[in-house]
């Protein structure tokens, strides 16, 4: 349930309400808006009569939430979540562009990629160090050495780093090198991992599972939020359907659906969503027009010889052209691209 405090409720009254529900076995999660403070009561070990809460000083109303995800719901927090990392924001007016190779292959590869993407204004670079591959014989990534490489080069260009964490034991390593920890589609319902990510103080990006419903996706976000980490980003990367023309079916309709249900920022990965280089640009444009908070695009300096997903990776010049197109679309939907201005 949600406890909506009156606009003029004092801090003492807010703390009294929190203490009351905690004594009943609930976990209290606070959202302070411009007008109201809302307290989310999650869990609960003892029966509770909502009327007893309504009688507390400073309480305006009690709202029962029927959906399974409470902290991720827009009822709990009407305002959009905006995540700030250094001088970069994800959500709000700015559109975030994340770009880079599917996997970290070498120092030379990342140096070339970072230099080219920096010239195009990219502030966040992606790259996998641990790769969950369908085949055990496929390239599995460079591990910690890969994280060291991408961190070293990204720092030189003032860029943030995002990479996929696969298991709990890797979290300390990722906290050392990575700014945004990414949960892959195959781990979207790895609840033990999600619980642990709820206790860190860095943003977590959750990719939608291969066959996950939107509700299941939001419930995965709820695991992280309930642990205390409010910096959660959703990433639509396509779902598995009967269609074989593309690698996955990119669900553009998920963007407005999520925007109505949740306050969390949502970005789109058209590279995995389509699996085809020539489909990435049109789906990126569609995603921004549909209200996405950004896109994550695979870019490789030599995709024909990439160790992973070269067919869905853009050439740097293709990405540069796409960024210019997105900068034209963004103002039409009341947004702007969050890019460096490079000479």
CATH code of residue 139: 3.20.20.70
Does residue 295 sit within a domain?
A: yes
**The pLDDT of residue 66 is above 80:** no
> What's the rounded mean pLDDT across residues 139-144?
79
**Residue 330 burial (CB count, 10 A):** 18
pLDDT tens track for 246-305: 999 999 999 999 999 999 999 999 999 999 999 999 999 999 999 999 999 999 999 998
Q: For residue 270, give both structure tokens.
A: 């058209």
CA distances for 199 relative to 171, 181, 229, angstroms = 11, 13, 6
Does residue 75 sit within a domain?
A: no
105 and 6 share a domain? Answer: no
More confident residue, 131 or 210: 210
Cβ contact 270:249 at 8 Å = no
Which of helix, strand or coil describes residue 311? helix
Cβ contact 208:220 at 8 Å = no
Into how many domains does the chain fold?
A: 2
237 and 183 share a domain? Answer: yes
Q: What pLDDT, on the 0 to 100 scale, is given for residue 49? A: 83
Domain holding 144, by residue range, is: 83-337
pLDDT tens track for 295-339: 999 999 999 988 888 999 999 999 999 999 999 999 999 999 866
Does residue 51 sit within a domain?
A: yes
Strand partners, 37: 32
CB hemisphere CA count around 192 (13 angstroms) = 5
236 and 121 share a domain? Answer: yes
Cβ contact 37:49 at 8 Å = no
Helices (H), 198-315: 214-226, 254-261, 270-274, 277-290
Cβ contact 163:148 at 8 Å = no
118 and 12 share a domain? Answer: no
Q: For residue 255, give both structure tokens.
A: 């963007």
100 and 161 share a domain? Answer: yes
Q: How far apart are CA 13 and CA 336, in angstroms?
A: 40
**The pLDDT of residue 217 is above 70:** yes
Task: Give the H/E segment covering residue 31.
Answer: strand 26-32
Q: Choose the final residue of a domain: 19, 35, 63.
A: 63
Per-residue three-class SS string for 35-103: CCEEEEEEECCCCCCHHHHHCCCCEEEEECCCCCCCCCECCCCCCCCCEEECCEEEECCEEEEEEECCE
Does residue 251 sit within a domain?
A: yes
9 and 127 share a domain? Answer: no
pLDDT tens track for 162-202: 999 999 999 999 999 999 999 999 999 999 999 999 999 99
What's phi and psi for 64, nearest 5 deg? -85, 135
> What's the rounded mean pLDDT across residues 109-113?
94
Q: How far apart are CA 186 and CA 255, in angstroms?
A: 20
88 and 53 share a domain? Answer: no
31 and 101 share a domain? Answer: no
The rounded mean pLDDT for the chain is 92
41 and 87 share a domain? Answer: no
Does residue 135 sit within a domain?
A: yes
25-34, 144-153, 169-178, 201-210: least confident range? 25-34
Whole-model pTM? Answer: 0.88
147 and 186 share a domain? Answer: yes
87 and 235 share a domain? Answer: yes
Does residue 71 sit within a domain?
A: no
> What's the rounded mean pLDDT across residues 24-44?
86
Q: What is the CA radius of gyration of the chain?
A: 21
CA distances for 196 relative to 28, 172, 176, 193, angstroms = 19, 11, 16, 5
Q: What pLDDT, on the 0 to 100 scale, is given for residue 309? A: 86
Q: Residue 133: which of 84, 90, 186, 183 has the closest Cα?
A: 186
Q: What pLDDT, on the 0 to 100 scale, is given for residue 50? A: 84
6 and 137 share a domain? Answer: no
> What's the rounded mean pLDDT across residues 17-46?
86
CATH classification of the domain holding 50: 3.30.70.1140
Q: Choose the final residue of a domain: 33, 63, 93.
A: 63
Q: What pLDDT, on the 0 to 100 scale, is given for residue 138? A: 64
Q: What pLDDT, on the 0 to 100 scale, is given for residue 72? A: 95
């Amino acid at each position: 349930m949600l406890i909506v405090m009156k606009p003029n409720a004092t801090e003492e009254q807010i703390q009294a309400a929190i203490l009351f529900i905690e004594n009943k076995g609930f976990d209290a999660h606070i959202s302070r808006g411009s007008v109201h403070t809302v307290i989310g009561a999650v869990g609960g070990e003892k029966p509770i009569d909502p009327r007893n809460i309504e009688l507390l000083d400073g309480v305006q109303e009690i709202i029962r939430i029927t959906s399974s995800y409470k902290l991720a719901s827009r009822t709990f927090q009407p305002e959009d979540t905006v995540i700030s990392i250094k001088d970069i924001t994800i959500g709000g007016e700015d559109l975030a562009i994340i770009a880079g190779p599917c996997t970290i292959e070498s120092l030379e590869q990342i140096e070339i990629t970072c230099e080219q993407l920096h010239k195009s204004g990219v502030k966040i670079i992606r790259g996998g160090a641990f790769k969950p591959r369908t085949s055990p014989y496929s390239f599995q990534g460079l591990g910690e050495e890969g994280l060291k490489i991408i961190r070293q080069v990204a720092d030189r260009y003032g860029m943030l780093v995002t990479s996929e964490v696969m298991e709990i034991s890797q979290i300390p390593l990722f906290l050392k090198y990575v700014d945004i920890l990414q949960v892959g589609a195959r781990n979207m319902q790895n609840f033990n991992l999600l619980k642990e990510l709820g206790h860190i103080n860095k943003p977590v990006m959750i990719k939608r599972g291969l066959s996950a419903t939107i509700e299941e996706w939001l419930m995965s976000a709820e695991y992280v939020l309930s642990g205390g980490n409010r910096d959660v980003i959703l990433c639509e990367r396509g779902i598995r359907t009967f269609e074989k023309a593309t690698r996955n079916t990119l669900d553009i309709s998920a963007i407005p659906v999520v925007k109505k249900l949740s306050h969390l920022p949502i970005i789109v990965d058209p590279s995995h969503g389509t699996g085809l280089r020539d489909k990435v640009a049109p789906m990126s444009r569609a995603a921004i027009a549909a209200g996405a908070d950004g896109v994550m695009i695979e870019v490789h300096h030599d995709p024909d010889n990439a160790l992973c997903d070269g067919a869905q990776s853009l050439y740097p010049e293709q990405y540069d052209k796409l960024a210019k197109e997105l900068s034209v679309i963004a103002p039409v939907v009341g947004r702007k691209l969050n890019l460096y201005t490079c000479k």
